[in-house]
Amino acid sequence: MTALPRVMVAPNGARRTKADHPALPMTLPEIVETARACRQAGADGLHLHLRNAEGRHILDAGLYREALAELRSAVPDMALQITTEAVGLYDAAHQREIALTSNASLVSASIREMTTDTPDTTARAFFEDCAARDIAIQHILYDPQEFDLLARILPPELLQTPALQLIFVLGRYSEGQQSDPADLHPFLSQLETRALSPDWAVCAFGSSETACLVEAHEHGGKLRVGFENSLWHSDGSLARDNAERVERVLAACA
């Protein structure tokens, strides 16, 4: 199963547009160009969100297959992860279908969303199916309490393996898009309490993104950086583009 890359760039997300930053990639050609620039800057993975013709978030297996094929040609040594984020538009059944039919080997999925209006047995069978197909699910945890949900749904062989992939989200849209390095510690405490040693990463909102990613790096975590979560450097200045964010974070972690 494909491991998480060390530094994954999340260049656009589901909500921001060029009104937020003119260098935010919206179309597939712009995403490909951004991927090339971020690979040159040191990112070894890309977290992929797609937009429809109107610029809105879309989960479409055919569009994902097209985008993955183009990106694999343009940046063949870059790990490519798709999102199943609902953004209030898609139900869990559609999210499961996208994960299984998009020809992706890395998939980001919220354990909270994947279990909404879904029997535990259905969710568990989905995760077992992904594992059987060598589709690596990176479970999004927005809150340390979601470890309880993860432990309830995943069978022991998927929960206790070092191949388990997690991402801890620090900060919220509802909290003014700000985070703090201390937000990481409750997640790490859960890992210790539950004796888990997963392949884990962090993303963080706002101008504290760099500080949070440095904290994660110092504790052995991997990093997701980019305009999905922050447009700003640690000094509060607006980044030129995603590649500059990658460069600054890598320099801070050096």
Which percentage of the chain shows pLDDT scores above 90? 94
Report if residue 1 sits inside a domain.
no
Q: How far is CA 198 from the centre of its chain?
A: 15
Report if residue 176 sits inside a domain.
yes
CB 38, CB 9: distance < 8 Å: yes
Report if residue 2 sits inside a domain.
no
Report if residue 192 sits inside a domain.
yes
Report the C-alpha gap between 153 and 99 in whole angstroms: 17
Report the C-alpha gap between 246 and 100 in whole angstroms: 30
Q: Which of 181, 128, 183 is nearest to 154 (CA)?
A: 128
Report if residue 103 sits inside a domain.
yes
Report if residue 155 sits inside a domain.
yes
Longest Cα pair distance anywhere in the chain, in angstroms? 47
Domain containing 19 — which CATH number? 3.20.20.70
Does the predicted TM-score (pTM) go above 0.85?
A: yes
Number of domains making up the chain: 1
Report the C-alpha gap between 228 and 245 in whole angstroms: 11
**64-73 pLDDT per residue, tens:** 999 999 999 9
Domain span at 172:
7-253
Q: Is the pLDDT of residue 35 over 90?
A: yes
Mean pLDDT of the chain: 96
Report if residue 104 sits inside a domain.
yes
**132-158 pLDDT per residue, tens:** 999 999 999 999 999 999 999 999 999
Burial class (CB in 10 A: 0-12, 13-18, 19+), 219: middle
Report if residue 136 sits inside a domain.
yes
**82-119 pLDDT per residue, tens:** 999 999 999 999 999 999 999 999 999 999 999 999 99
Q: Is the pLDDT of residue 26 over 80?
A: yes
Q: Which of 83, 72, 128, 137 is nearest to 105 (CA)?
A: 137
Q: Is the pLDDT of residue 199 over 80?
A: yes
